[in-house]
Amino acid sequence: MAKSRTQFICQNCGTVHTRWAGKCDACGEWNTLVEEGSNSGIGAGPGSLRSSRKGRIVALTTLSGEIEEAPRISTGIGELDRATGGGFVRGSAILIGGDPGIGKSTLLTQAAAELARKGYRIVYVSGEEAVAQIRLRAQRLHAADTSVELAAETNVEDILATISEGKRPDLVILDSIQTLWTDLADSAPGTVTQVRASAQAMIRYAKSTGCAIVLVGHVTKDGQIAGPRVVEHMVDGVLYFEGEGGHHYRILRTVKNRFGPTDEIGVFEMSDKGLREVSNPSELFLGERSAKSPGAAVFAGIEGTRPVLVEIQALVAPSPLGTPRRAVVGWDNSRLSMILAVLEAHCGVRFATHDVYLNVAGGYRISEPAADLAVAAALVSSLTGLALPADCVYFGEISLSGAIRPVAHAQQRLKEAEKLGFAQAVMPRTSEDVGKGSGARSAQLSELADLVVRIAGRRKPQSDEE
Positive or negative CA dihedral for 341, 345, 349, 351? positive
Which one of Mg ion, ligand TYD, none is in contact with 274 (Cβ closer than 5 to 8 A by kind)?
A: ligand TYD
Residue 34 makes CB contacts below 8 A (sequence gap 6+) with: 8, 9, 11, 187, 188, 191, 192
Q: Contact at 8 Å (CB) between 293 and 275?
A: no
Contact string (CB under 5 A) for Mg ion, positions 324-343, x = contact:
--------------------
Nearest Cα to 309, choosing from 332, 330, 343, 286? 286
* Element containing residue 240 per DSSP (H, E): strand 237-242
Which one of Mg ion, ligand TYD, none is in contact with 365 (Cβ closer than 5 to 8 A by kind)?
A: none
259: amino acid identity, one letter: F
Q: Give the nearer residue to Mg ion in terms of CB position, either 105 or 257.
A: 105
H helices within 189-280, ranges in order? 192-209
In 272-330, the DSSP E strands lie at: 274-277, 296-303, 306-318, 326-329
Q: Contact at 8 Å (CB) between 448 and 347?
A: yes
The least CB distance from residue 272 to ligand TYD, in Å, is 5
Q: Give the nearer residue to ligand TYD in terms of CB position, either 98 or 396.
A: 98
Cα–Cα distance, 128 to 159 (Å, whole number): 14
Q: Give the nearer residue to ligand TYD in terms of CB position, either 87 or 274.
A: 274
Cα–Cα distance, 453 to 466 (Å, whole number): 13
Which one of ligand TYD, Mg ion, none is in contact with 261 (Cβ closer than 5 to 8 A by kind)?
A: none
The least CB distance from residue 110 to ligand TYD, in Å, is 9
Q: Give the nearer residue to Mg ion in terms of CB position, either 105 or 154.
A: 105
The least CB distance from residue 10 to ligand TYD, in Å, is 25
Q: Contact at 8 Å (CB) between 116 and 164?
A: no
Q: Which of residues 262-281 bind ligand TYD (CB under 6 A)?
A: 270, 272-274
Cα–Cα distance, 234 to 202 (Å, whole number): 11
Contact string (CB under 5 A) for Mg ion, positions 70-109, x = contact:
-----------------------------------x----
The least CB distance from residue 247 to ligand TYD, in Å, is 12
Cα–Cα distance, 333 to 338 (Å, whole number): 9
Which one of ligand TYD, Mg ion, none is in contact with 272 (Cβ closer than 5 to 8 A by kind)?
A: ligand TYD
Contact string (CB under 6 A) for ligand TYD, positions 133-172, x = contact:
----x--xx-------------------------------
The residue within the footprint of ligand TYD, chosen from 45, 46, 78, 100 (CB under 6 A), is: 100
Contact string (CB under 6 A) for ligand TYD, positions 105-124, x = contact:
xx------------------
Which one of Mg ion, ligand TYD, none is in contact with 137 (Cβ closer than 5 to 8 A by kind)?
A: ligand TYD
The least CB distance from residue 244 to ligand TYD, in Å, is 14
Torsion on CA atoms 341, 342, 347, 349, rounded to nearest 10: -30
- Strands 274-277 and 397-398, by their bridges, are unpaired
Nearest Cα to 32, choosing from 191, 173, 178? 191
Angle at 115 between CA 74 and CA 119, to 5 degrees: 110
Contact string (CB under 6 A) for ligand TYD, positions 312-351, x = contact:
----------------------------------------
Q: Give the nearer residue to Mg ion in terms of CB position, either 106 or 191.
A: 106
Residue 153 makes CB contacts below 8 A (sequence gap 6+) with: 125, 127, 159, 162
Binding-site residue total for ligand TYD (CB under 6 A)?
15
The least CB distance from residue 252 to ligand TYD, in Å, is 12
Stretch that binds ligand TYD, among 95-103, 204-212, 292-300, 345-353 (CB under 6 A): 95-103
**What are phi and psi for residue 8, nearest 5 degrees?**
-115, 125
Q: Which of residues 104-143 bind Mg ion (CB under 5 A)?
A: 105
Interface residues with ligand TYD (CB under 6 A) are 98, 100-106, 137, 140-141, 270, 272-274
Interface residues with Mg ion (CB under 5 A) are 105
